[in-house]
């Protein structure tokens, strides 16, 4: 009986920790990934497209 009570409490605590942590980690990953993509797009824009605009005008 004591083992069952401890196991259920541990499982419920772990489930909350996993869901909170993974949600935060997913959000952080999405934010960092979007910043990296925006940085790469900015570099690409400056390197390729601005030169074409200057040469065509």
For every residue of 1-57, DSSP letters joined together read: -HHHHHHHHHHHHHHHHHHHHHHHHHHHHHHHHHHHHHHHHHHHIIIIIHHHHHHH-
List of the chain residues with pLDDT < 70: 1-21, 53-57
Q: What is the pLDDT of residue 2?
A: 53
User: Cα–Cα–Cα angle for 23, 27, 32, nearest 5°?
Assistant: 145
Q: What is the pLDDT of residue 29?
A: 93
């Amino acid at each position: 009986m004591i083992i069952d009570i401890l196991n259920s409490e541990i499982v419920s605590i772990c489930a909350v920790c996993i869901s909170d942590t993974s949600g935060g980690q997913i959000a952080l990953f999405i934010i960092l990934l979007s910043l990296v993509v925006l940085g790469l797009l900015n570099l690409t824009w400056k390197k390729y497209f601005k030169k074409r605009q200057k040469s065509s005008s």
